[in-house]
Structure formats: C-alpha cells, structure tokens
Amino acid sequence: MSERPTETAHRAALEGYRWDGVEVRRYKDEPAALYKDVTRQVLFSDPRLKGELRYFEVAPGGHSTLEKHEHMHAVLVLRGGGKCLIGGEVRALKLNDLVTVPPWTWHQFRAGKDEPLGFLCLVNAERDRPQLPSQSELSELKSDPAVRDFLDGK
Ligand code: MN
C-alpha cells in the first residue's frame, strides 16, 4: 500500500488500535538508536488535503526522537499515557490530553513504564526534516533537572 492517497471512504477500526488496510510502519527512517519501540500508522494522507493524520504508538518504556523542526504538531492522546517534553517543560500525559508543538520547539514523547502511549498527530503534508540536538544543545536542555530526568528515562 502506498503512503499517499487512498480513496477509501470508510476504514473499520480493528482490535488493538489498528485500522483496516492501514499498514503498521517503522516510526522513522533514521537510526533506531534515537528512539525506542515506536510504530507509525498513516491514517489520512491525500494530496488534496494539506495535512496528514498519523497514529503513533510508543510501547511501555519507549520514546520518540528528541527533535525540533519548523512544522508544527497537534497531538491527541488516544491510548495509555506517559510524558512529553515540549520546549523546556515536562508534562504528564493522560488519555485524551491535547498537545501543541510549536515551530522550532524541542519535543519528545515517552510512554509510561507499564503502559503504552498512543497518540494521533496532525502535521503538514509538506514539511521540513527534523533536526537533532547538538551536544551543547543537549547539555543546555539537561541543565534543568526535570528535563534531565525525563531525557534519562527516570
Ligand atoms: Mn516532530
């Protein structure tokens, strides 16, 4: 199945946060060392619509990549819970919480130790590539104890 357009008007939800005809993909085409135990499903992607809606699922103890970019994210927690880092702030996430990631803001999502974190993520269809923190940017982020604990998975 291609990542791009689908004319299917209705896709049934399946067991376990899956959808009929939607492939469970690798989270990203990047070194796996930067994230842990994340899957991606592209729910809506059509050139006539300038956005894409994806469902990401972070397994217990897993996390997304720490990154920033010009494009924004709008996130809705659909399964489980965990935490996120947005800019310099760590926030607890529970079911149905909403998260806005503004442009050029460091962000990372972490599942709880014993529960997955599944979320919908709305994003521009055309978008810039994520940037990773340099060592000095990482050090600066970690100068805040709460952020350091978050990034260290504590
Ligand atoms: Mn991102």
User: Which pLDDT score is estimated for 66?
Assistant: 97
CA angle 66, 68, 73 (to 5 degrees): 100
All residues at 6 or more sequence positions from 152 whose CB lies less than 8 Å from its CB, including other chains: none
Stretches in the chain below the pLDDT threshold 70: 1-7, 32
User: Which pLDDT score is estimated for 4?
Assistant: 52
User: Which pLDDT score is estimated for 16?
Assistant: 95
Whats the size of the chain, residue-wise?
Answer: 154
Query: E strands along the chain, which residues?
Result: 13-14, 18-19, 25-26, 36-45, 51-63, 73-80, 82-86, 89-93, 98-101, 107-111, 117-124
State in Å: Cα 94 to ligand 1 middle.
19
Cα-based distances in Å from 72 to 105, 119, 124, 126? 9, 15, 8, 11
State in Å: Cα 148 to ligand 1 middle.
19
State in Å: Cα 150 to ligand 1 middle.
17
State in Å: Cα 70 to ligand 1 middle.
9
R_g over Cα of the chain: 16
Active site residue 84: no
The pTM is what? 0.92
Provide the CA 154 distance to its chain's centre, in angstroms. 19
**Count of alpha carbons within 13 angstroms of residue 133, beta-carbon side:** 18
State in Å: Cα 98 to ligand 1 middle.
15
CATH fit for domain 24-151, picks 3.40.50.150, 3.30.565.10, 1.10.10.10, 2.60.120.10: 2.60.120.10
DSSP type of residue 33 = G
What are the residue boundaries of the structural domains of the chain, listed by start?
Answer: 24-151
State in Å: Cα 13 to ligand 1 middle.
25
Q: Of the residues 121, 141, 147, 151, which is catalytic?
A: 121
* Alpha helices for the chain (secondary structure H): 135-141, 145-151
